[in-house]
Amino acid sequence: MTRSRLLLVALAPLIAVGVLATQHFAFAQSGDSATLRGFTTCAELHEHYLKLSIQSAREDAYEVEEEAEEEAMADDSDAGFPQTGGGPEAAAGEDATSVPADQGEVSETGTNVQERGVDESDIIKTDGTHFYILRPQSLLIAEISEEGPLVEVGRIDFRELGHRQELLIGAGKAIVVRQLNGVEATFEIDDDDLPKPQHPLTYYREQAEVLEIDISDAALPQLVRELNLDGRFLSARLVGDDLRVAMQHSSVIPWISPWAFDTWSRHRDAERYSVALQEAFRLGQWFPLFGLQNHSASTFSHGYAVDCGQTFAPEDRLPTRRGELPSTAFMLSFDISEDGEGLGAWGSVAVLGMATNPTVYASRDSLYLAAPNHWWRDTAIHRFDISDPLKPTYFGGAIVTGQLLSQWSLSEHEGYLRVAATDWSKWPTVSSVTVLEAVAHESDDDHTTRPTGSLQEVGRVTGLGATESIFAVRFAGDVGYVVTFRQVDPLYVLDLSEPTDPKQVGELKIPGFSRYLHPLSGGLLFGVGRDADPQTGWELGLQATLFDVSDPANPTQIAVLPLGDDAFSPVEHDHRAFRYQDGVAWIPVGPNDYWLRQNHDGAFFGVRVSTDGLTHESTLRIHGEARRAIPLGQRIHLLSDEEVRTYALEDDADLGALSFAPEWDTRWLPVSPE
């Protein structure tokens, strides 16, 4: 255990100002915007959080629940929904070709990504000569052989088991982000005159680490810096040599419910105990901390992971959901270039009060965090300016009606953010695409404590999929594709060329649905999803679908290729598992049942795509659960949880495999992009 890890564990008794299981939490309250306020000092930030957190706990326990139920009943009585507007047809796509080219994005490290030039963390990476593969407690480096399988040349072991972990490479470095075991502690007020609650007050503090590894010598990787952080790892991005790591840290409320006391005077006892908690409450008990070990210089430092002056919070209310502790969603930005300080220096920015599991989306200059708001009725979206790696800033935000599907629900294009969401707050459900414009505020003397701008709605197309919900989204330039589903699959084609007047221009209803969409040249769109019973909506077998969207007003289905009645593919939930190259889509498959997949060999289906349709061209088998396919030159390298197997693309000849040395836990546990 490193010194930085010991620091966070040692602080556990101080941070354990938890709440009893009997405590309730506040319903989120709606707002007209996501405008937040900043702070000039840490003391001001702490005082504001203390006020909001106590208010949140008190209101939920005594007032908010009944009001929220009444409001929900009023909303449910409104059965109306907005209708889609008409519009002119969009221009037809380019001429079709016999072998469609990939119109998606693949990073230089071999990952299927959302945005060009924005690499996404994954479980395997390549630089063209080596592969970098994450194991449960190590990073394995393998050299690409000219004649056979990969050859292991280097390995670096980690001290602790990573429960979730992902990897990025660049500038001769590997950046590994790992979720570790958290710490749980008990907090007690040392005052014999105070009544004691029935059960100890406990609080769980999640822990993660970011490792900077020198891989300039593949045979001898060296751990350079080790950054331990409070919180749960969400996702990471790399633009050039600029690294961004998104985290979320659950905070604690220094207030205890009267029902924690088994006394006749429980309200008075709870009030006295809560006052004592608040008097003892300190910033470090709820704010994320860090511990940094510099192995090259043999130095150690620690402190707050986020600058208090770069933390923004609601003015009047913490928009948490019932049953959740308030949390601080934050982003750290690093320069890992040769001239930069790597993990030794970073810029930070944070938003207080985001719901659990925010969606992370990033363009080259912006990073967005979006999370449910107002008890799942809408979504709060926050934009961070990350154009300067060491000086990220909070730009501003907005509230959008409905809930997002994943990071694919967001797309930044020419200064506008497109947001696809399903409104679950009333029946029938309905989906929409909202266009937001980033509008900068005029600067003033107090600009350091205010957002520099806001996201303002300039256009909206709605009425998509009444009674249904979004299953897949893809934005491609000025065109948007939205799949909704309940019993049949409407594929909607949207014209987004005019941000202030987005339009639905085409619709195709077919059985089944797509969960992942991939644009191809020639006006083609490839989908991976499932067949379904058109009468009941019951999900059936895995399938690939090819659409012709060259005429946006008249999308058609060219072909459907079944991939197995009892088959599962990680592509359905993780776009990084998909790969398309030279007219072939590579789709990892395995049994539908989770436990069977853990003890069953997998396969990769090679699906040939042409303007005439889809053909199941090859099946490449692999020991273990199929994860990733990375074609390089005339070979394709397939990753499972047990090996990397290499095949020749010309004739599908099996060239052998690099089998992983046994470790006590060989399961892959990557972080889901959702």
Produce one character per residue of 9-41: b if its CB has 16 or more CB atoms within 10 Å, e if not: bebbeebbbbbbeebbbbbbbebeebbbebbee
Structure token digits, residue 527: 């989908």
How many Cα atoms sit within 13 Å of 216 on the Cβ side?
Answer: 6
**pLDDT at residue number 448:** 58
What is the C-alpha separation between 9 and 158, in angstroms, rounded?
18
For 512-536, the pLDDT digits (tens) are 899 999 999 999 999 999 998 877 7
The string of DSSP letters for 590-631 reads: EESSHHHHHTS-EEEEEEEEETTEEEEEEEEEESS-EEEEEE
Q: Which domains does the chain have, with CATH numbers?
A: 576-674 (2.40.10.480)
Residue among 57, 246, 111 nearest 578 (CA): 111
| pLDDT over 70 at 671, yes or no | no
Residues 593-597, mean pLDDT to the nearest whole number: 83
Q: Tell me if residue 206 falls in helix, strand or coil.
A: strand
Q: Which of 632, 577, 23 minimizes the C-alpha distance to 324?
A: 23
Buried b (16+ CB within 10 A) or exposed e, 66-102: eebeebeeeeeeeeebeebeebeebeebeebeeebeb
When pLDDT is averaged across residues 453-459 and rounded to a whole number, the result is 94
* CA triple 489-492-493, angle to 5 deg: 150
Q: Specify the length of the chain in residues.
A: 674
Distance CA 488, CA 485 (A): 6
CB atoms within 10 A of CB 222: 13
Q: Note the pLDDT tens digit of each residue in 342-373.
A: 999 999 999 998 888 899 999 999 999 999 88
Parallel/antiparallel/unpaired status of strands 342-352 and 311-312: parallel
Q: Which of residues 623 and 2 earns the better pLDDT score? A: 623
User: How far is C-alpha 566 from the chain's CA centre?
Assistant: 28
Q: What token pair was written down for 248?
A: 């979320």
pLDDT confidence of residue 631: 97
CA-atom Rg of the chain in angstroms: 26
**For tokens 């405008």, what's the residue?**
35
Is-contact 610 583, C-beta < 8 A? yes
Q: What percent of the chain has pLDDT over 70?
A: 85
Give the strands of the sheet with 410-413, arranged side by side: 410-413, 416-423, 430-440, 453-464
State yes or no: pLDDT of 415 exceeds 70: yes
231 φ, ψ to 5°?
125, 180
Rounded CA-CA distance 324/31 in Å is 19
pLDDT, one tens digit per residue, over 534-555 is: 777 788 899 999 999 999 999 9
Distance CA 619, CA 603 (A): 6
What is this structure's pTM? 0.88
Taking alpha carbons only, the member of 321, 254, 423 closest to residue 65 is: 321
Render pLDDT for 377-400 as a digit per residue (tens, 0 to 9). 899 999 999 999 899 999 999 999
Q: What would the mean pLDDT of 42-69 be, rounded to a whole number? A: 73
Task: Measure the CA–CA gap between 249 and 542, rounded to whole angstroms.
Answer: 37
pLDDT in tens, 285-331: 999 999 999 999 999 999 999 999 999 999 888 766 666 788 999 99
Per-residue confidence (pLDDT) for residue 98, from 0 to 100:
80
Q: Write out pLDDT tens, residues 127-144.
A: 999 999 999 899 999 999
Q: State the average pLDDT over residues 149-177.
A: 94
**Hey, which residues does 112 pair with through a beta bridge?**
106
With contact defined as beta carbons under 8 Å apart, do 478 and 496 qualify? yes
pLDDT, averaged across the chain:
86
Q: Which residues of 376-411 are buried (b: 16+ CB within 10 A; e: fewer)?
A: ebbbbbbbbbbeebeebbbbbbbbbbbbbbbbbbbb
Considering only CA atoms, which of 154, 158, 211, 161 is closest in space to residue 658? Answer: 154
Look at residue 352 in the predicted model and tell me its pLDDT.
Answer: 92
Given a cut of 50, is residue 506 above it in pLDDT?
A: yes
Are 286 and 48 a contacting pair, CB within 8 Å? no
**Which of the four pLDDT bands, split at 50, 70 and 90, describes residue 623?**
very high
pLDDT at 628 over 90: yes
Comparing CA positions, the residue from 298, 295, 122, 151 lying closest to residue 219 is 151
> What's the rounded mean pLDDT across residues 475-482?
97
pLDDT of residue 32: 46
Average pLDDT, integer, range 196-221? 93
Alpha-carbon dihedral 327, 331, 332, 335, rounded to 10 degrees: 170
pLDDT > 80? residue 478: yes
Q: What is the pLDDT of residue 389?
A: 87
pLDDT higher than 70, residue 79: no
